[in-house]
Structure 1
Amino acid sequence: MTKYDVLVVGGGTSGMMAAISAAEHGAKVAVIEKNTTLGRKLLVTGGGRCNVTNNRDKEEIIAHIPGNGRFLYSAFYQYDNYDIMEFFKSNGVVLKEEDHGRMFPVTDKSRTILEALIGIMDRLEIAIYAEAPVENLLFDEGKATGVQLQDGRSIHASCVIVSTGGRAMPRTGSTGDGYKWAKKAGHTIEPLYPTEAPITSDETFIQDKTLQGLSLRDIALSVLNKKSKKVVTHQMDMIFTHFGISGPAVLRCSMFVHQTMKRDKTEEVVMSLDALPNVSKGELTQQLQQLIKNDGDKSTKNALKGLVPERYLLFALTRSGLDENAPLKQAAPEKVTHLIEFIKDFQFTANGTLPIEKAFVTGGGINTKEVNPKTMESKFTSKLFFTGEILDYNGYTGGYNITGAFITGRIAGMHAAEAALKS
């Protein structure tokens, strides 16, 4: 009978880090992975470049994990994003910083990160069982004792770490297997929903593809609740698509679309788009008055050229009832006011997001109140630990989710090793 100190189920980002951490703390470790290779999802993160973490302080990182980020506080005090950077540096991976604090390997290749992790696992003599789908976790008297594979084999261990990921990006193997095992161990699974996902809308201008393919830079996008109050605003880029909207600002708003629809018990939610967030309504009004005065003889379209991208300008003029070919000075004042309102606050409805399979991140998962935040151990089943996306916390893209994965993996591995070596 094969027995290990620590068994890690799932060889993704948090699973590999959990295995390395447990082995560095003296445990005999094995990783069980249903894919043929480790780190399938890691390879596609950050557009294939792998945004390993973010160079911001704890508070800011946790603020960028809007779904239950506070759960990670205790873990962060034991191992943080600077420790992640040091870990890679000391293992020969040079990182570089890009905009918004995002850290990438200088090679711009996810494979660099994956090869470093696999190299460390080899050095630490961590056993790897690939193409080994797990059927069930094994329990005995309220303790996790190992796993049973689909081929009938059993592998035993003093501690088991479940790092099977969520349900986003199933092509990488994240098919939500771990939720049923967590349930068996007595855990509540908070409803799963897509986050960091493109937003869908059935507004006519979307269906007619009027703006399809149009990118807007540095806009402010907000989700409004039923009282027309802003729930969240993100100032970044976006793009109009054939099904709705996408791009960085949109992905960050997606979680709030689901939460607001759920809270307000509605089928859709209103979004507000400010195309010029760095210009106040008053300043924009003055700008237009100047243009009417100086370029009033030009056609409206030409006089306002460069205010916003041309396709968006023509759309705005149509929406405000202005004739793009008529001289600007002939524009009725109330229509100019409409145009200003439109540029600063174009409201349209969204009815959800693309499904979880098309999202980058899974919202929901194992209720974090049922997991010890200092160790990642289950409060219901001893010697059972959870890491990464299977837990109900989620962050924005930009290195925040992977930071959570590395940190929860590190902590779980360390504490699982301690628990195993004590027993």
Structure 2
Amino acid sequence: MDFDVIVIGGGPSGLMAAISAAEQNKQVLLIEKGPKLGRKLILSGGGRCNVTNRRPVDEIIQHIPGNGRFLYSAFHQFDNEDIITFFEKLGVQLKEEDHGRMFPVSNSARSVAEAMIQRMEKLNVKVYMKTAVKRVCYENGATTGVILLDGQEITARSVIVAVGGKSVPRTGSTGDGYAWAKEAGHTITELYPTEVPITSNEEFIQKKRLQGISLRDIALSVFNSKGKPIITHQMDMIFTHFGISGPAALRCSMFVLKELKNQNQVTMQLDLFPDESPETLKKRVFALLEASPKKALKNALASLTQEKLLLFLLEKANLDIENSYRQVSPKKLDQFVWSLKNFLFTVNGTLSFDKAFVTGGGVSIKEINPREMQSKLMSGLFFCGEILDINGYTGGYNITCALVTGHTAGENAAFFAEQGN
């Protein structure tokens, strides 16, 4: 055979898979169709690369709403603490930031990618750049290698597909791997963009009334068709010219898309003061008004929230912003206070894959051995990273998935190759 293990894809999971397989003293070939390795790594975390999250494993699994429980077996072999140790051994010192997020001290994603590439070089991993795979070869229920676009055939007992999903296509994630998986008999679950901004046809959005308003530590909820909240995220958010974005919106996006299968539009709720009860907030609002009884409402309540949003919510409650506290009805003021914690609006979709951080859906995990990342349908065929039907929130969870599944696939692909020698 030409190689023991072939890894297709030079993103986070592919780099880790190649390193993990080569550490078992196997001949490894990594094939990347683009001009650079680690392009998604370099873009991640705003160019700083949020390499993992230091929360306990159970909490990490909770932050991977797309089939996170499937990863328990892989985490037993290589977890987030192992990721931290791995990078520190490569000379990449890490620091912990808010919510357990781990970044390189250098604040440079490039340093993370370069450390992995240098490790591959030391392990003598062969790399083919600007090389496209036409198909993965199967024979008698086993993987035999790959055929390149130029017709060259390369044999290997183990092939790891690490080509990503369909999100951020400029990095090379264009969905190539789904056809190879299907040819092996695999089911591809419905694909959808996730961790993606949400769109709305509300008049205030279309007229850009709140565009550019950035809100800190709000609670954003998605309601089902029965008017019950199905998920709430307390984080930051921003109003845009097309809808909403920011961490809270991104985390809600997959739940919006699921609800849109049942209805044409989905109701969301914004709570501007999630840490205050309605009663406490009402007391605070009325204290501000009573402290300045002659001032116009817009001035008496100026400290409450951003001016543009305050004026909008006062208008929604049918309050004249120039009137003073003594000139308005308590009922309308109650309605205004209610809207501070219950600002309801409808949304109708999300932006497309090219604006999404993550792909939802993929190769069905029911057909993958969780301890090995090996196909249950085709021996010697392994999958890792975003091509699998696994997706997490932003905050280091998706790269954790990529690195953990990459390590598991690489190590087990090497073991499988050994059995055939």
SS at match of 2:375: coil
Match of 2:145 in 1: 146
Deviation digits for residues 179-231 of structure 1 (CA, Å, limit 9, x no counterpart):
01000000000010010000000100000000011111111000000111111
Please show how residues 96-245 of structure 1 align to structure 2 within 5 Å. Answer: 96-245=95-244
Does the 8 A contact of 1:371 with 1:378 survive in 2? yes
Match of 2:384 in 1: 387
Cα drift, residue 82 of structure 1: 0.1
Please show how residues 298-317 of structure 1 align to structure 2 within 5 Å. Answer: 298-317=295-314
Does the 8 A contact of 2:216 with 2:235 survive in 1? yes
Please show how residues 329-408 of structure 1 align to structure 2 within 5 Å. Answer: 329-408=326-405
Aligned AA for 1:356? F
SS at match of 2:334: helix
Does the 8 A contact of 2:134 with 2:146 survive in 1? yes
Aligned pair partner of 2:315 in 296, 314, 318:
318
Cα drift, residue 409 of structure 1: 0.4
Cα drift, residue 329 of structure 1: 2.0
Cα drift, residue 88 of structure 1: 0.5
Which runs of 5 or more residues in structure 2 are unaligned?
none
Match of 1:13 in 2: 12
Does the 8 A contact of 2:289 with 2:301 survive in 1? no
SS at match of 2:71: helix
SS at match of 1:273: strand
Distance in 2 (CA, whole Å) between partners of 1:419 and 1:134 is 22
Distance in 1 (CA, whole Å) between partners of 2:290 and 2:37 is 65
SS at match of 1:406: helix
Match of 1:69 in 2: 68
Please show how residues 238-253 of structure 1 align to structure 2 within 5 Å. Answer: 238-253=237-252
Aligned pair partner of 1:413 in 405, 410, 414:
410
Distance in 2 (CA, whole Å) between partners of 1:107 and 1:122 is 22
Does the 8 A contact of 2:9 with 2:33 survive in 1? yes
Number of residue equivalences: 420
Aligned AA for 1:77? H
Match of 2:83 in 1: 84
Deviation digits for residues 62-102 of structure 1 (CA, Å, limit 9, x no counterpart):
00001100010100011100000000111111011111111
Please show how residues 30-45 of structure 1 align to structure 2 within 5 Å. Answer: 30-45=29-44
Does the 8 A contact of 1:36 with 1:130 survive in 2? yes
Deviation digits for residues 224-283 of structure 1 (CA, Å, limit 9, x no counterpart):
001111110011111111100000110010011011222xx1121000000111111111
Distance in 1 (CA, whole Å) between partners of 2:286 and 2:113 is 57
Distance in 2 (CA, whole Å) between partners of 1:230 and 1:85 is 36
SS at match of 1:188: coil
Match of 1:284 in 2: 281
SS at match of 1:343: helix
SS at match of 1:242: coil
Does the 8 A contact of 2:290 with 2:325 survive in 1? no
Distance in 2 (CA, whole Å) between partners of 1:148 and 1:268 is 45
Deviation digits for residues 321-343 of structure 1 (CA, Å, limit 9, x no counterpart):
11111112212111101101111
Aligned AA for 1:124? L
Aligned AA for 1:404? C
Aligned AA for 1:59? D
Cα drift, residue 289 of structure 1: 2.6
Aligned AA for 1:223? V
Aligned AA for 1:200? T
Match of 1:270 in 2: 267
Cα drift, residue 290 of structure 1: 2.1
Distance in 2 (CA, whole Å) between partners of 1:153 and 1:131 is 14
Cα drift, residue 292 of structure 1: 3.2
Deviation digits for residues 140-186 of structure 1 (CA, Å, limit 9, x no counterpart):
11111111000111111010000000000000100000001000000
Aligned AA for 1:40? R
TM-score by length of 2: 0.99
Distance in 1 (CA, whole Å) between partners of 2:274 and 2:373 is 41
SS at match of 2:374: coil
Does the 8 A contact of 1:293 with 1:329 survive in 2? no
SS at match of 1:256: helix
Aligned AA for 2:204? F
Which runs of 5 or more residues in structure 1 are unaligned?
none
Superposed CA RMSD: 0.8
Deviation digits for residues 101-142 of structure 1 (CA, Å, limit 9, x no counterpart):
110111111110010000000000000011110100011111
SS at match of 2:304: coil
Aligned AA for 1:252? R
Does the 8 A contact of 2:50 with 2:102 survive in 1? yes
TM-score by length of 1: 0.98
Aligned AA for 1:156? T
Cα drift, residue 291 of structure 1: 2.7
Distance in 2 (CA, whole Å) between partners of 1:336 and 1:16 is 58
SS at match of 2:369: coil
